[in-house]
Structure 1
Amino acid sequence: MARLRRFLDRIEPQFQKGGPYEKYFALYEMVDTFIYSPADVTRGSPHVRDAIDLKRVMSYVVVATFPVLLLMLWNTGFQANNAISQMGMTGLDGWRNWIMSTLGIAYDPNSLFANMFHGLLYFLPMYITTLVAGGIFEVIFAAVRNHEVNEGFLVSSMLYTLTLPPSTPLWMVALGIIFGVVLGKEVFGGTGKNFLNPALTGRAFLYFAYPAAMSGDAVWTAVDGYTGATPLALAASGGIEAVKEAGYSWSQTFFGMMPGSLGETSTLAILIGAAFLIYTRVANFRIILGVFLGMVATSLLFNLIGSDTNPMFSVPWYWHLTMGGLAFGMVFMATDPVSAAMTNKGRWIYGALIGFMAVMIRVVNPAFPEGIMLAILFGNIFAPLIDYFVVQANIKRRMKRT
């Protein structure tokens, strides 16, 4: 590390103003500040409400995803190995099978290592593709604007990858993150100026552009020819009874032993990440509780109303929490400090609106059993308006007092 420090110090003048590589200064700064804390850090508070720097904020979010990553690797491999076992297959075709057979790793759903290694062979190419494709456009925009390439993309790339089904083609992964980075963030000025969550913007684009690859029973398990509905899809067609008949208990959906998008399956791992984010004050607890309370209240209302034709009316709130991506969106997406509401009272309203909309879309919309993605994007759009009315209400109260 000391040798790398000396090397960076030696080549820095080449990138400074007047140097031969002046236009690549933003790229140099990205490498330098990502590895080391710069000597010219701000002495005051670079943010309005906190003195914490952007590097540490983004690093904390990535650290909070570690429990989700570990459970994701195991569950992705387990679902694939279990499908191979059920279909009576001995293996798969392609480069993954070559690596597994070369290393002598069997497709054993009972082996922790085999499951995690097989899951890694699906996650790693998708994440590398996301980093390369999105990173290229981040660097291009930073170079054109002479801005710094900050660590915000690391968070967006991680969260974006975790929202995808494990069978997503790599070209589609690249297309989605490019759309999210360019049209979800950079066209509005870059980090801190976007009003939509970039990761969700890319995910939403893929869903509406390529619905067959983002939904249905064949995309959640990374084995060609194998179909298996998620518990949420089963609930949409037959209620909780259909979920239980398929062999899923509530504890399975809570711990993450079910098919689904890469990072959404384990509510336990997500809640561990939530505790870390709240403890470090990176995520605001008002938004998380607001989404949760909005979801619970709306679920109870639909349970009270009931329906003879729509089984989703009877789904309890604790099943809504563990099925689909509600918990993941509530903790990692809705709490985005840029696209969320900024006032404390606005955060409660913003969170409750997302929880309400998520259940509304799940229950009332028959064509879209998952609702948290659209609910958060809907909340992002209304967040500035919510803050505006909260501020105006405060001004009126103060004027009356004086």
Structure 2
Amino acid sequence: MKALHDFVTKFEPDHSKSPFLHTTYDAFYTFLFQPPTVTKGGVHVRDGMDLKRLMVWVVLALQLLYVFGTWNIGHQHFLALGKHAGLLEGFHLKLVYGLIQIIPIFVVTHVVGLGIEFLYAAKKGHSVEEGFLVSGALIPLIMPPDIPLWILAVSVAFAVILGKEAFGGTGMNIWNIALLSRVFIFFAYPTTISGDEVWVSGIEKVDVGLYASEAYNWAHHVFDWIFAGFGWSTFGVGGELVADGWTGATPLGIAAKEGWEGVEAVYDQSSIFWGTIPGSIGESSVPLILIGMAFIMFARVADYRVIVGGLIGFMVAGLMLNAIAPAELTPDTPGIFKFMAIHPLRQMIMGSFLFAITFMATDPVSSADTPTGKWIYGFLIAFIGLIIRVLNPAYPEGWMLSILLLNTFAPLIDHYVYQANIKRRAKRTAAMAKTRDELITKRNEEVEIFTPQNAEGYRPVGNVGNY
């Protein structure tokens, strides 16, 4: 390790002559090695877990979702064509197709986001801040697989510049950066992140309907040559969508109109639970999200209070909506009441709630700081988010909006928690002082110290309260 360190330090550029190159070097150096300097004094504990290494834990927790999301991009594409319907059928084709779609999204996200951070760091004359490590890992997972790359680049630039650098950089932002990128696209380019066909890669809207791309690009032809050499199935030339039995609609899109019965007519509950459905790249697989949740809570990177508070808030809101919904549903029942009637546990496995409460709401910078505030913060995110999901017909999902809303009010939540603690401690101190004064008075009245000098009896010679 020392040899590697000595080799790397040979390339360190001069800070005064090349501030940008030195900033770039410093970013990679601190990624490879823990900080060599620590605070001095006997009261401090030396710890190599700096901010960069702390955030790597979150990135590691997302890796299974990246693998699954990459495969699911290809799986949904081939389902739309009526090919390789089995989970393992054409596995190599699905994985390669997914990689070809997700790698450009990942690269553009990091080139734009890190590029801006490098420029700001060089301009300010300090090291590159590590905040984009997690944001850069989250953004690709919350996007549709066919998001136009130029729109993605604009959204990332908007989120990093106006959401973070304008507030002073990492640790100073008040909103979650990854969600700012998504909310920018949602309001500026809504057709690229809403509807049915955007969640399945390779689907194009044509005048006469929806069709799959008729031919794959050069990369697929290259892989066809390789796969054919092994005798495996190849991509071919694409084709039209399956006329029957396919829909690009997500379970939430169906549930908002037809309730759970409509969802079951298209997807079985097992597919929804495992995540083999259309949707954002990394938000659909419940088991893998739960593994990531356990991982970051065990590593103490995420606070369990936010997550558990969110689960409680979700169940409370879900049961409340169930109570409002009609007892009996008929074909003529409005879709909003059918949506209300869905059991909270079924609501929980649809959409991106578990992903949002695990990886978005627990952001330590933009969430509440106090232990009590974290419970309130997580509860309100889930409660408000589910209300938005069910009662907003234009947007059958609510976590993006509810998290950004609670990001805004997190300092206010902490303020009232602090004030409540101050008042409670003041009352406790006043009660203790009152109890002490009452005890002293009682002892002065009831307890006497006597001397045997008076033949008639005993004479009090002191006030016990003075001792």
Instruction: Tell me, yes or no, whether TM beats 0.5.
Output: yes
In 2, distance between residues paired with 1:391 and 1:141? 35
In 2, distance between residues paired with 1:125 and 1:24? 25
Map of 2:23 onto structure 1: 26
In 1, distance between residues paired with 2:341 and 2:39? 54
Q: Deviations over 1:342-384 (max 9, x none)?
A: 1011000000000011111011111110111111111101111
Contact 2:20–2:118 (Cα < 8 Å) also in 1? no
Contact 1:165–1:261 (Cα < 8 Å) also in 2? yes
| Of 363, 366, 375, the match for 2:402 | 375
In 2, distance between residues paired with 1:137 and 1:328? 27
User: Aligned pair count?
Assistant: 377
Map of 2:306 onto structure 1: 287
Shift of 1:40: 1.9
Map of 2:192 onto structure 1: 213
Q: 1:78 to 1:337 in 2, by over 3 A?
A: same
| Of 263, 288, 294, the match for 1:275 | 294
Q: 1:152 to 1:84 in 2, by over 3 A?
A: same
Q: 1:252 to 1:182 in 2, by over 3 A?
A: same
Contact 1:76–1:166 (Cα < 8 Å) also in 2? yes
Contact 1:321–1:327 (Cα < 8 Å) also in 2? yes
- Give the greater-gyration-radius structure (CA): 2
Counterpart residue type for residue 200 of structure 2: T
Give the 5 Å matches for 1:145-294.
Answer: 145-224=124-203, 225-226=210-211, 228-246=248-266, 248-294=267-313
In 2, distance between residues paired with 1:136 and 1:65? 22
Contact 2:34–2:49 (Cα < 8 Å) also in 1? no
TM-score w.r.t. length of structure 1: 0.89
Tell me the secondary structure at the aligned position of residue 168 of structure 1: coil
After TM superposition, the structure 1 stretch with the greater mean CA deviation from structure 2, 302-311 or 337-346, is 302-311
CA RMSD of aligned residues (A): 2.3
Shift of 1:263: 0.8
Give the 5 Å matches for 1:37-116.
Answer: 37-42=34-39, 52-85=49-82, 110-116=89-95
In 1, distance between residues paired with 2:19 and 2:111? 23
After TM superposition, the structure 1 stretch with the greater mean CA deviation from structure 2, 236-245 or 113-122, is 113-122
In 2, distance between residues paired with 1:329 and 1:305? 26
Counterpart residue type for residue 8 of structure 1: V
In 2, distance between residues paired with 1:113 and 1:332? 29
Map of 2:342 onto structure 1: 315
Q: 1:294 to 1:3 in 2, by over 3 A?
A: same
Contact 1:32–1:38 (Cα < 8 Å) also in 2? no
Counterpart residue type for residue 236 of structure 1: A
After TM superposition, the structure 1 stretch with the greater mean CA deviation from structure 2, 383-392 or 26-35, is 26-35
Map of 1:343 onto structure 2: 370
After TM superposition, the structure 1 stretch with the greater mean CA deviation from structure 2, 153-162 or 23-32, is 23-32
In 1, distance between residues paired with 2:192 and 2:177? 20
Gaps of 5+ in 1: 89-106
Counterpart residue type for residue 250 of structure 2: T
Shift of 1:313: 0.8
Q: 1:23 to 1:113 in 2, by over 3 A?
A: closer
Shift of 1:150: 2.9
Q: Deviations over 1:30-72 (max 9, x none)?
A: 1211122232245689x9xx98420221100000001211211
Map of 1:361 onto structure 2: 388
Counterpart residue type for residue 103 of structure 2: L
Contact 1:184–1:202 (Cα < 8 Å) also in 2? no
Give percent identity, aligned residues only.
44
In 2, distance between residues paired with 1:21 and 1:322? 51
Gaps of 5+ in 2: 204-209, 212-246, 327-332, 430-467
In 2, distance between residues paired with 1:367 and 1:163? 19
In 1, distance between residues paired with 2:38 and 2:65? 32
Counterpart residue type for residue 84 of structure 1: L
Q: 1:77 to 1:326 in 2, by over 3 A?
A: same
In 2, distance between residues paired with 1:44 and 1:243? 62
In 1, distance between residues paired with 2:146 and 2:29? 35
Shift of 1:328: 0.8
Counterpart residue type for residue 174 of structure 1: A
Shift of 1:116: 1.8
Contact 2:306–2:362 (Cα < 8 Å) also in 1? yes
Q: 1:149 to 1:20 in 2, by over 3 A?
A: same
Shift of 1:23: 5.3
After TM superposition, the structure 1 stretch with the greater mean CA deviation from structure 2, 315-324 or 279-288, is 315-324
TM-score w.r.t. length of structure 2: 0.77
Q: 1:5 to 1:259 in 2, by over 3 A?
A: same
Runs of 4+ in structure 1 displaced over 6 angstroms? none
Map of 2:324 onto structure 1: 305
1:140 aligns with 2:137: no
Tell me the secondary structure at the aligned position of residue 219 of structure 1: helix
In 2, distance between residues paired with 1:330 and 1:184? 20
